[in-house]
Amino acid sequence: MSAPVLELFKLSKAYPTPKGPAVIVKEFNLNLAPGEFVTLIGHSGCGKSTVLSMVAGLTDATDGAMILSGRETNVAGPDRGVVFQSPCLLPWMTAFENVMLGVDQVYFTAPKAERRELAEYYLSVVGLGNAMHKYPGELSQGMRQRVGIARAFALQPKMLLLDEPFGMLDALTKMELQEVLLELWRRNKLTTLMVTHDVDEAIFLSDRVVMMTDGPEAEVGDILTIPFERPRNRAAVLADPRYQEIRNHLLTFLNERSHIRPSRITPPTMESVTVPERSPVPGGAVSTH
């Protein structure tokens, strides 16, 4: 088996408070294999974004280690493309210019024509072939998020990090952009870590879904492997009898088991880096909010 692209070992984050440190995430362990698509789900405020932000190098870990492609790191870099809920585009620049901003910085030694080609290619792939010279104010929210996705892919990072990228979109646009993301991910084989509140989105997109325990001191509570073949067809996935079982497993965790801390049951050792994967069990509700 190939070496993991990302290894998180006992990653922890605490914020100072007048009453002492507030430990948000404690000893978070996870490995991502090359090209793997992993989603993080958990209750609101449990620390999902904190984990993603530490992986992005935007938040310092208080403890633990993060190894990216075999090297320990704790700073941000163009090897990780990040997409947030809102793409934060510069309003005085066109979609193309917004994408070029990052491309010019990362590939400053490449000829201008190649850099333009890169930006144009990814803007076309996300469906903005005819709108790339429009300003953010002239684009819908879904189109702006397409720019955000194109911008992340155009940097050709080693990893893609997504923090609820479709959280502000209507259901139809969300489904369209999930397909766009999956197609880009398939073509680029990018190792991806995504935070979502949407259980169905997690199932449709992921190879594995990581369930976080409730905060404070949130950790990996359970991991479920999603067995559906790729490329995935939404209708076929929804019609698969395993779909409801998987969904129920995730919802049962969120409703009944997210307060249970595996590390307090099993002493934290190197072995606990790989949380045992459980078979689906019945249960049920809708999202992690």
Cβ-based nearer residue to ligand ATP, 25 or 119:
25
How far out from the chain centre does Cα 236 lie?
24
Cβ-based nearer residue to ligand ATP, 59 or 248:
59
Contact 168, 141 (CB under 8 A): yes
Main-chain phi, psi angles of 64, to 5 degrees: 90, -175
CB 178 → ligand ATP: shortest distance, Å? Answer: 19
Provide the angle, in degrees to the nearest 10, between the axes of the packed helices 112-125 and 95-106: 130
3-state secondary structure of 83: strand
Cβ-based nearer residue to ligand ATP, 99 or 220:
220
191-195/159-163 β-pairing: parallel
CB 256 → ligand ATP: shortest distance, Å? Answer: 19
Cβ-based nearer residue to ligand ATP, 23 or 126:
23
Distance CA 83, CA 165 (A): 6
Cβ-based nearer residue to ligand ATP, 196 or 252:
196
CB 254 → ligand ATP: shortest distance, Å? Answer: 12
Cβ-based nearer residue to ligand ATP, 119 or 212:
212
Which chain residues interact with ligand ATP by CB under 6 A? 15, 24, 42, 44-50, 215
Nearest to 220 by CA among 45, 10, 6: 10
CB 42 → ligand ATP: shortest distance, Å? Answer: 6
CB 205 → ligand ATP: shortest distance, Å? Answer: 17
Cβ-based nearer residue to ligand ATP, 46 or 143:
46
CB 186 → ligand ATP: shortest distance, Å? Answer: 27
Main-chain phi, psi angles of 131, to 5 degrees: -125, 10
CB 115 → ligand ATP: shortest distance, Å? Answer: 34
How far out from the chain centre does Cα 52 lie?
7
3-state secondary structure of 8: strand
CB 222 → ligand ATP: shortest distance, Å? Answer: 16
Cβ-based nearer residue to ligand ATP, 55 or 184:
55
